[in-house]
Structure formats: C-alpha cells, structure tokens
Amino acid sequence: MKIAFVVGENSSDRLGAALIRGLRNRSAEPVEVTGLGGDAMAAEGLTSLFDIDELSIVGVGAVLARLPQLVGRIGQTVRHILAEKPDALVVIDSYAFSHRVARRVRKALPDLAIVNYVPPAVWAYHPERSTAMAGYIDRAICVFPFEPAFHARHGGPPSTYVGHPLMHEPHLAAIMARLDSLPAQPSPGSPPTLLILPGSRRGEINRLLGDFGRTLELLDARLPGVRAILPAVPRLRALIEEKVADWPVKPEIVTGEAEKWAAFAAADAALAASGTVALELALAGVPMALCYRLDPVGYILRHLITGWTAALPNYITDHPLVPEHFHEFIRPEALARRLQRLLTDTPERRAQVEGFRDIRRKMAIDVDPGDAAAAIVLAEIRARSMVLPPQPSPYSS
C-alpha cells in the first residue's frame, strides 16, 4: 500500500510521522510513503521531494515575493503524485500549498482517496472554503473538538476529531494530570511568576518584544519583585538577548523543551504572542493576555479575517475567555494592569483557570491521534477498493 503525503511545516511533519506509524500498526500489508515531509517523516522512510522549509513562509508579502517558486513546486508535487499512483493522498496543514495540490490531483485521479489532516482554520476566516473542500477532500481529520460541527453546518467534508497532539506531549500531560488532581485552583506565587512569550518567528519578536519589555517594567512597579521567564527557541536566542539587553527589568531566558515546560509549570500568568502557544498555556492552566501585530501587507488585508476571535481557547469555550490585544491596542500601560489582575487572586484569574479546566475536559482523548487518524485513512481507502481486508473502526464522524 502506498500513501502520498503533502506536508509543509515541522509541526505537521510530526503529525505525519505519527500517522505513518499508525498506518503500519493497523495495515495488513506493508506501507510505502512518498511525497513531501520533514525530518520526523524521513525517519519513517519518506524521502521528501524537496526541503519543506521552502514552504515555511509567514506574511502575505513574503508569499507574493516567492510566488513563482511556489507555483513551480506545486506543479512538481502534483506530477510526482500522479506518477506514483498512490492508494491515498494525505495533505496536512499548509492550506495555500497542499490544497492546491489536492485539487489538481482530484481532477486527474477522481477515484483517489484524499484526506486532509488538520484542515484550514475556516472557522476564523473564509468559511466558504469548508463547502469548497467537499469537492476534493473526502475526509477531514480535525485537531479541535469544535471543527466537525462547523464543517457539518457549512456543507464541508465529513470530519472527525481525533485529538490535538499536545494532549500526548509528555511534559504537558504531566502538568495537566497535576492540575486535574487538585481539589481547588492553585494560588499565585508571592512574588508571582510571569511567562513572556513573544513568538517563535523573527518577525513576531521584532514587532512585539519592545512593548513586552515596557509592560514588564510597568508591572514590576505595580508588583515589586515579579519574576519573568522567557522561553526562547535556540535559533532566536541571540536576537532576544540583544533586544532585552537594555530592559530595566530583565527576564530569565531559557531554551530547550524541558526548560520550557518547567517554566509553564512554574508560571502564574503569561504575556504571549497569539498563536498555538495560547492553547499550550490553556492546557497548562496558565492565565494569559494575548497580543499580535500583522506584517504590513497582512495589516492592509486584515478585513479578510472574519473570525470573532484569534485565540484558540476562545473558540473551544465559545466565549471570549482570553483577552486579546491587536496593533494599536497593544498598550503597555493597559497590559501591565491586566497582568496584575491575572497574577493575583481575582475574579479575572479564577474565570480563566475554570475555563481552562473545561478546555481540558473537551479535548480529552482515549486513543493516540496518530492511530485514530490511521484508522480513518484506511477506511477511506477501503471505501474505494476491496484490496484491503475489512477492519472494524471505532471512529465515526
């Protein structure tokens, strides 16, 4: 059995690797993989057509600058998949690239099973894309519990929630288990500890870190002795150290996964760039204030964003649990006051902590996401071919 993959990001690469392992555990015949992937999928036997770092582009302006190259890579990927004649195509995340490939493959191979693991965030913008996906995606495998109902309302492809990979991250799982064992909410420390999370991309850091430094300075005046920890990805540590060198109140900079999760476990609140980290903080029970600034071209096109929030915890709870600050509303004077409320025992802090407990309950899973996703892919293949022996699957849409 041959499965083609189109994966464009490192986070998606890890999902793809887990899916390959699940397919090999569940399939009665050997599984061959082809297409696009990263290091984790390479360890499972996939030789990528090209380095997927080429597709890690952030911002509308950057995409436009690289458009000719991307168009060429789309054509190359489609030709490769058609030549390989796989039993299924699995596209993971990277909507702008992977779905263009999927649409062209569907036209050429209309009977091929096409599965989208991590469908685009149509609930945040362009909900009409859900309807369009039904024309070339046979099944969506979702990582957020609210997504299947959204696709059903908008005429999208049949969708199944299999769990977010964070639910099986060992360090985070340990934090969640400790929180769920506590009879009451944990009290903030004295002095409290603040996480500073300016993002994992250079552009985010350049746009936010200055305001975060000023916020910390003002917060220290309101909560003397507040401790600040800044987890940094290794490749950006030098940039961050340069930018915090003149801060009156300096954070402790840490790198590494173990150090990052230790900081999450110790934190009483966080000031963070809006993104996946908001879900990490919510699952870890850390109250937060979120900030974001788009790149200049993205700011001009901001009217295209139709979602009522950019914070994943808010989507999961279906109400504005976590406060968000965008562009001109990123004001250190306001952020310092908000964080003071989150770092002390207040109704605002208690509301977020209780909301995060509800999120952990809604996202709880009993089966490994890679194994659950594999069962869905195999079911789609069986729907088009009787080559595989029937296997019962406990997963339904």
- CATH number (domain holding residue 154): 3.40.50.2000
In a domain, 389, yes or no: no
Q: Please tell me whether residues 230 and 153 are part of one structural domain.
A: no
For residue 388, pLDDT over 70 is answered with no
CB neighbourhood size of 381 (10 A): 21
Asked if 9 and 93 touch (Cβ cutoff 8 Å), the reply is yes
Q: Please tell me whether residues 328 and 299 are part of one structural domain.
A: yes
**How many Cα atoms are found within 13 Å in the side-chain-facing hemisphere of 265?**
16
Q: Strands across the sheet with 193-197, in order? A: 252-254, 227-231, 193-197, 269-273, 288-292, 324-326
| Closest among 47, 23, 24, 20 to 36, alpha carbons compared | 47
Q: Strands across the sheet with 159-161, in order? A: 32-35, 2-7, 88-92, 113-117, 139-142, 159-161
Q: Which residue has the higher pLDDT, 235 or 78?
A: 78
| Closest among 88, 132, 84, 80 to 113, alpha carbons compared | 88
| pLDDT band at 208; cut points 50, 70, 90 | very high
E-assigned strands of the chain?
2-7, 32-35, 88-92, 113-117, 139-142, 159-161, 193-197, 227-231, 252-254, 269-273, 288-292, 324-326
In a domain, 393, yes or no: no
Of 68-72, 168-172, 288-292, 302-306, the range with the highest mean pLDDT is 288-292
Q: Please tell me whether residues 329 and 370 are part of one structural domain.
A: no
Q: What is the pLDDT of residue 268?
A: 97
The structural domain count of the chain equals: 2
Q: What is the pLDDT of residue 67?
A: 66
In a domain, 274, yes or no: yes
Whether the link from the prior residue into 287 is cis, omega within 30° of 0, is no
Q: Please tell me whether residues 186 and 310 are part of one structural domain.
A: yes
Q: Please tell me whether residues 149 and 174 are part of one structural domain.
A: no
Region 326-339 average pLDDT? 96
The full 3-state SS of 292-325, as one line of letters, equals ECCCHHHHHCHHHCCCCCCCHHHHHHCCCCCCEE
Asked if 388 and 101 touch (Cβ cutoff 8 Å), the reply is no
In a domain, 30, yes or no: yes
The mean-pLDDT minimum among 198-202, 288-292, 388-392 falls in 388-392
In a domain, 284, yes or no: yes
Token pair belonging to 393:
């699957």
Q: Please tell me whether residues 268 and 147 are part of one structural domain.
A: no
Q: The whole model's pTM is what?
A: 0.83
Q: Please tell me whether residues 63 and 194 are part of one structural domain.
A: no
Q: Please tell me whether residues 359 and 376 are part of one structural domain.
A: no
Any idea of the CA torsion for 213, 268, 254, 336, to the nearest 10 degrees?
A: 0
Give the percent of the chain with pLDDT over 70: 94
- Bridge partners of 114, per DSSP, are 89
Q: Please tell me whether residues 87 and 198 are part of one structural domain.
A: no
Q: Please tell me whether residues 46 and 177 are part of one structural domain.
A: no
| pLDDT band at 396; cut points 50, 70, 90 | very low
Q: List C-alpha distances in Å: 369 to 222, 266, 271, 323, 365.
A: 44, 28, 30, 30, 8
In a domain, 390, yes or no: no
In a domain, 32, yes or no: yes
What 8-state DSSP symbol labels residue 226?
-
Task: Please write the tens of the pLDDT for every residue from 375-386.
Answer: 999 999 999 875
In a domain, 397, yes or no: no
Q: What is the pLDDT of residue 385?
A: 77
Give the percent of the chain with pLDDT over 90: 76
What is the separation of C-alpha 196 from the centre of its chain, rounded to a whole number of angstroms?
19
Q: What are phi and psi of 370, to 5 degrees?
A: -65, -40
d(CA 60, CA 295): 8
Give, to the nearest 10 degrees, the angle between helix 369-384 and helix 10-26.
60
**How many Cα atoms are found within 13 Å in the side-chain-facing hemisphere of 208?**
24
**How many Cα atoms are found within 13 Å in the side-chain-facing hemisphere of 271?**
33
Asked if 64 and 295 touch (Cβ cutoff 8 Å), the reply is no
Q: Please tell me whether residues 327 and 197 are part of one structural domain.
A: yes
Q: What is the pLDDT of residue 300?
A: 82
Domain with 158 in it = 2-163+366-384
Q: Please tell me whether residues 324 and 205 are part of one structural domain.
A: yes
For residue 221, pLDDT over 80 is answered with yes
Mean pLDDT value across the chain: 91
The amino acid at residue 348 is E
E-assigned strands of 42-166?
88-92, 113-117, 139-142, 159-161
Q: What is the pLDDT of residue 57?
A: 53
Task: Please write the tens of the pLDDT for every residue from 359-376.
Answer: 999 999 888 899 999 999
Q: What is the pLDDT of residue 64?
A: 57
